[in-house]
Every structure is written in structure tokens, then in C-alpha cells.
Amino acid sequence: MIRETPESEKQKLIAKAAFAVFAEHGFRKTSMQRIADKAGMSRPALYLHFQSKEDVFNFLVLGYLNTVQRSILARLAQSGSPAAVIGDLFAAFDPDGIKEVLLDAKHGNELMDIKSGAVLSRAEEIAQNICSALADWLRREAHDQRIICEDPVLTAQTIMSSYDGLKNPAPSYAIYKARSAALAQLLGKGLLP
């Protein structure tokens, strides 16, 4: 079940606890009881907010994706050096150090590989929104002659595909951060006139 309504403070607390449990035990070994214990509540009370661990996980993923999208769209509404903007775009995928937890946690790779049908279409929609906003930013910057970009759509797709490649094979968080900084610099310099 996908929740698109504003979450309550209680749901946010449960989600924070659930994230810690998922990272520690992985998706398969996480139970509603473990989530309830970590959240400091009974399992029946947990069921008042979420129907299943899948529901909790989907809530976490949607919250993450919406946060990332808001941050990226706000940054792409502004101008800036290509390396800085691309670096900020990559950094937006790590709100509150989520990537650090996932990349350094024992079960982080498992969590990043889960492709839930319930949120997959929303994830694809957000990815497309981000790519379109990046293409618009590239188009504006090229129009104002701050960068050279002949095909903003293809360039945006290439930037996002390159970013996705940073995580394969899954590195430590320190390696991920170094890779994303290097990639942002490389792509940014390639766009300069």
C-alpha cells in the first residue's frame, strides 16, 4: 500500500526506527515485531500505522524519493558552475547520510536492490522528473552561454546514468563520496565553454 498523504509524527518515528532495523537485519529478517520493539511500541499499535513491513518499507522509499526530488528541483532552479550544480545534484541523493548507512551497513546492498512494485512506478516518475529538470537546467545554461551542451536531454540522461554507475559494484561510503565528487568535477569541466 502506497501512502501519498502527509505522514504523522508517529509514522516518521516508526520509519526512523524501521530504517535502523532494515539496515541491521535486512529486509527478509526484519519483522513487524522488531520494528515495533525499536520504535518502543507494541506490535498491535504498529499495525495502526502500517499494515506490513512492506508498507513501512514503501513509506521509507517514497519519503526518500520525495525528499531527493524536492532538493534537486530546488537546486536546478538556480544557476551555478556545472561542477557545483552536478555535485549538489549527487549530494541530494544522500539526505541525512542515508547512503552512508546503506553503503556501510551489512544489509545495505540488499535494501538498495529491492524493487518494490508498489513504489517502482513512482520511483520511475521521480527519476524522469529529475532528468527532465536537469535537461531544462542544461538548456537554460547553454542558452545563456555558461555551458556548451548540444543535446540537453541526452546529456541529462548520461549524467544520471553515470551517477547510477557509481554504486556498482557497491563501494564503501568513502569510495562512493570520492567517486561522486570526481564525477561531478569531470562532467562539470566537460560542459564548460
Higher model confidence: residue 70 or residue 97?
70
Q: Does 29 fall in a domain?
A: no
Specify burial of residue 105 (Cβ count, 10 A radius: 0-12, 13-18, 19+): buried
Q: Does 128 fall in a domain?
A: yes
Confidence of residue 7 (pLDDT cuts 50, 70, 90): low
Tell me which residue range forms the domain holding 65: 57-191
Q: Does 74 fall in a domain?
A: yes
With helix as H, strand as E and coil as C, how does the chain read?
CCCCCCCCHHHHHHHHHHHHHHHHHHHHHCCHHHHHHHHCCCHHHHHCCCCCHHHHHHHHHHHHHHHHHHHHHHHHCCCCCHHHHHHHHHHCCCHHHHHHHHHHCCCHHHHHHCCCHHHHHHHHHHHHHHHHHHHHHHHHHHHCCCCCCCCHHHHHHHHHHHHHHCCCCCCCHHHHHHHHHHHHHHHHHHHCC
Query: Into how many domains does the chain fold?
Result: 1
CA distance 38 to 107: 17
CATH number, domain of 133, equals 1.10.357
pLDDT score of 93 more than 60: yes
Predicted TM-score of the model (pTM): 0.86
Q: Does 106 fall in a domain?
A: yes
Q: Does 47 fall in a domain?
A: no
Region 35-48: mean pLDDT is 96
Q: Which three cell numbers stand for residue 63?
A: 519519503
43-66 residue pLDDT tens: 999 999 999 999 999 999 999 999
Omega before 169 within 30 of 0, i.e. cis: yes
- Mean pLDDT is lowest, of 76-80, 95-99, 169-173, for 169-173
Confidence of residue 8 (pLDDT cuts 50, 70, 90): confident
Percentage of the chain surpassing pLDDT 90? 75
CA distance 187 to 84: 10
115-141 residue pLDDT tens: 667 788 888 999 999 999 999 999 999
Region 33-45: mean pLDDT is 97
Confidence of residue 167 (pLDDT cuts 50, 70, 90): confident
Q: Does 52 fall in a domain?
A: no
